[in-house]
Amino acid sequence: MGFFDMLEAALPWSTAEAEAPKEEEEKEEESSEESKDEGSEDKEEPEEEEEEEEELEDPKEKFEEVTECKESKACSPAKHHYDECVERVTGADHGKPVDKKHPEEDCVEEFFHLAHCATQCAAPKLWNALK
Amino acid sequence: MLARSALRSKRTVGAVRNGAVHTSKRAASSSSSSADSPFRLNMAGTAATAVAIGSMAWYYHLYGSELHAMTPAEEGLHPAKYPWVHEQYLKTFDHQALRRGFQVYREVCSSCHSLSRIPYRALVGVTHTVDEAKAMAEENEYDSEPNDEGEIEKRPGKLSDYLPNPYKNDEAARAANNGALPPDLSLMVKARHGGCNYIFNLLTGYPEEAPPGVKLADGLNFNPYFPGTGIAMARVLYNELVEYEDGTPATTSQMAKDVVEFLNWAAEPEMDQRKKMGMKVLIIGSALFALSIWVKRYKWAPIKTRKIVYNPPIQAGGKH
């Protein structure tokens, strides 16, 4: 935004238009698109196939799971506790001696600590990756 | 720690008592008592200090730890804070993001959630052009005025019509959603603690599987950010669920970010104008303040620069 745009925005008689651009331009574009379409159909198909092959990866998952965050040093205590809890709770289902003190234990709190750590760590990276 | 300090205090109490016994004996046996030894003075100070520290420790042991009426699971996980650009003081909404966000709302959210406070005219100049907004409005049918026979017929929508509700009323919405009411999203960003961050985390925070040991009622899904962790809404945003017009890769978090920014606009459509107005207030206010300083100097100049002089009358002729 240049200086004159800012000046214009500050002036009381400036207006904002919500109209579509003039139709003439659109028609030109349409006609040019139509002429292109016939020729480009053959080209597009292989491209689509390629797109299907490489699946989009969600950057949030990528930063939290795959790269660093969950495995990082800062989150290693949380990860350790969560893994330990998972082992303890799922172990009870597989015939291991049941922890009689806490038969109803779940790993929600451990999960919270781990998720909190990972999202905090990934937040700034994620915003750089998104539009 | 408490036990240790308690032990120590007991020991010091014993020492003090011994000391007292000693003095009484000595006083009885001999008349010559020298000044109190520094050992016993130190002992008294140490004992008093130990009692003070021990009582403090005991107090904090009893009352120090914070009490929570709810478990962390009932509170829900606190949302992570993201650096939203539109939340900065001098930034506006990203209107391309708003347009993408409206697309996500229209193609995904609107099948269950209403957005009842937004008319099509509000979108004009914000996300869409007049013609686009008119075309979208005309896709829906609304009740018209009663005709000559008093019948109410349907007419295509106009710009002044509000976005249609997915259900006739709340009861119908509950019946269709296993008893859970999908809330209206018009003011949702303002209505939830954590605002944009909460909704973004809620949409993207569904783990692939719930942590072990979690028991949820039928029809509920695990989401750590929802208070109670059991939410009736399942995960809806998946990669490439919508196809953006501008070619932005439609990842889960991109769609969530766009739709949250759009919902923020829906809750605060005046935000851009408000920030502009705030800047005008600051500019005019600072100009007037500067002016007031100059005016003050101008008005005070005669007073500040005046000189009061006393000229005693010249007494001609010397003394009387």
Residues 6+ apart with CB under 8 A from B182: B112, B113, B114, B166, B173, B233
Name the residue facing A56 among B78, B82, B239 (closest C-beta): B239
Name the residue facing A16 among B77, B125, B201 (closest C-beta): B125
- What is the spatial distance between Cα B235 and Cα B109, in angstroms, rounded to a whole number? 11
pLDDT digits (tens, 9 = 90+) for B121-158: 999 999 999 999 999 999 999 999 999 999 999 999 99
Q: Is the pLDDT of residue B31 over 60?
A: no
Which residue of chain A comes nearest to B211, CA vs CA?
A107
pLDDT recorded at residue B319 = 57
When pLDDT is averaged across residues B300-317 and rounded to a whole number, the result is: 90
Nearest to B112 by CA among B184, B178, B161: B184
Q: What is the DSSP letter of B87?
A: G
More confident residue, B25 or B300: B300
pLDDT recorded at residue A6 = 67
Answer yes or no: do A107 and B249 touch at CB < 8 A: no
For the beta carbon of residue A25, count every other beta carbon within 10 angstroms: 10
Name the residue facing B253 among A18, A60, A116 (closest C-beta): A60
Domain ranges of chain A: 59-129
- What is the spatial distance between Cα B47 and Cα B59, in angstroms, rounded to a whole number? 18
pLDDT recorded at residue A24 = 57
Q: What is the DSSP letter of A71?
A: G
Under 8 Å CB pairs connecting chains A and B tally to: 99
Where is average pLDDT lowest: B14-18, B56-60, B151-155, B246-250? B14-18
pLDDT recorded at residue A23 = 60
How far B288 CA sits from the closest chain A CA (Å)? Answer: 18
Name the residue facing A127 among B77, B82, B250 (closest C-beta): B82
Phi, psi for residue A7 in degrees, rounded to 5? -60, -45
Q: Share the mean pLDDT of chain A.
A: 72
More confident residue, B225 or A89: B225
More confident residue, B21 or A63: A63
pLDDT digits (tens, 9 = 90+) for B94-119: 999 999 999 999 999 999 999 999 99
Longest dimension (CA), chain A: 79
Phi, psi for residue B230 in degrees, rounded to 5? -105, 110
Q: Is the pLDDT of residue B23 over 80?
A: no
Which residue of chain A comes nearest to B127, CA vs CA?
A18
Out of A7-21, A94-108, B23-37, B121-135, the most confident range is B121-135
Q: What percent of chain B has pLDDT over 70?
A: 88
Contacts 24+ apart (CB under 8 A), B229-233: B229/A108, B229/B73, B229/B76, B231/B202, B232/B177, B232/B178, B232/B179, B232/B180, B233/B112, B233/B180, B233/B182
How far A29 CA sits from the closest chain B CA (Å)? Answer: 16
Three-state secondary structure call for residue B93: coil
Residues 6+ apart with CB under 8 A from B82: A123, A126, A127, B196, B197, B200
When pLDDT is averaged across residues A72-95 and rounded to a whole number, the result is: 85
Q: Is the pLDDT of residue B279 over 60?
A: yes
Annotated binding site of B: 109, 112-113, 233
Q: Please answer whether residues B141 and B156 qualify as being in contact, where contact means their C-beta atoms are separated by less than 8 angstroms.
A: yes
Q: Share the mean pLDDT of chain B.
A: 89
Q: Which helix (H) or strand (E) holds B143?
A: strand B141-146
Phi, psi for residue B155 in degrees, rounded to 5? -135, 155
- What is the spatial distance between Cα A2 and Cα B250, in angstroms, rounded to a whole number? 31
Answer yes or no: do A58 and B253 touch at CB < 8 A: yes
Where is average pLDDT lowest: A60-74, B209-223, B250-264? A60-74
Q: Which helix (H) or strand (E) holds B153?
A: strand B152-156
How far B113 CA sits from the closest chain A CA (Å)? Answer: 25
Q: Is the pLDDT of residue A51 over 50?
A: no
Nearest to B37 by CA among B23, B52, B54: B23
pLDDT recorded at residue B256 = 96
pLDDT band at B275 (very low <50, low <70, confident <90, very high): very high
pLDDT recorded at residue A30 = 47
Query: Which of B68, B70, B74, B77 to probe by mutation at the A interface, max A CB count within 10 Å?
Result: B77
Contacts 24+ apart (CB under 8 A), B300-305: none
Q: Is the pLDDT of residue A66 over 90?
A: no
Answer yes or no: do B224 and A110 touch at CB < 8 A: no
How far A10 CA sits from the closest chain B CA (Å)? Answer: 9
Domain B72-118+163-272 belongs in CATH node 1.10.760.10: yes
Domain ranges of chain B: 2-64, 72-118+163-272
Is 0.85 exceeded by the ipTM?
no
Answer yes or no: do B131 and A20 touch at CB < 8 A: yes
Q: Which of residues 23-42 of A touch B (CB under 8 A)?
A: none
Phi, psi for residue B142 in degrees, rounded to 5? -130, 160
When pLDDT is averaged across residues B295-310 and rounded to a whole number, the result is: 94
- What is the spatial distance between Cα B289 and Cα B272, in angstroms, rounded to a whole number? 26
More confident residue, B14 or B296: B296
Tell me which of 3.40.1350, 3.40.720, 1.10.3470, 1.10.287 is the CATH number of domain A59-129: 1.10.287
Residue found under tokens 């308690």: B6
For residue B271 the two structure tokens come to: 């935000």
More confident residue, B316 or B129: B129
Chain B residues in contact with A106 by the CB 8 A cut-off are 73, 211-215
Residues 6+ apart with CB under 8 A from B43: B12, B15, B16, B19
pLDDT recorded at residue B28 = 47
Q: Is the pLDDT of residue A105 over 70?
A: yes
Query: Which of A108, A113, A127 to probe by mutation at the B interface, max B CB count within 10 Å?
Result: A108
